[in-house]
Amino acid sequence: MNVDITNTGDVGGDEIVQLYVGYDGSRVDRHVRDLKAFTVVHLDPGETVTASMTLRADDLAFYDVDAAAWVVEPITYSVSVGRSSRDLPLEAKLEITD
């Protein structure tokens, strides 16, 4: 996943870009959202940088005790990106099917 970040301020600095996943309709209790990837980018004033993060199917799995295996559920996943878990302006849906 690639996200463009722009420094609209007058001072350069680092930004931590975070990617979270939520589980819509999971059959097991899971967190509202889990941090799955992050990256740090440095931006000079007025600069735009593309932040890249990887989300693999295995990152969506949970351990199913009954099956004794890691399982990726065929559900809809909410993918959110932002600077913190309370500031996630970008969101997309990802659907896994059988």
Which three-class secondary structure state does DSSP give residue 96?
A: coil
Structure tokens given for 33: 């959202």
Domains of the chain: 2-95 (2.60.40.10)
Instruction: List Cβ neighbours of 85 (8 Å cut-off, separation of 6 or more).
Output: 18, 20, 33, 35
**Cα end-to-end distance, the chain, whole Å:** 23
- pLDDT at site 98: 76
- pLDDT tens digits, one per residue of 24-81: 999 999 999 999 999 999 999 999 999 999 999 999 999 999 999 999 999 999 999 9
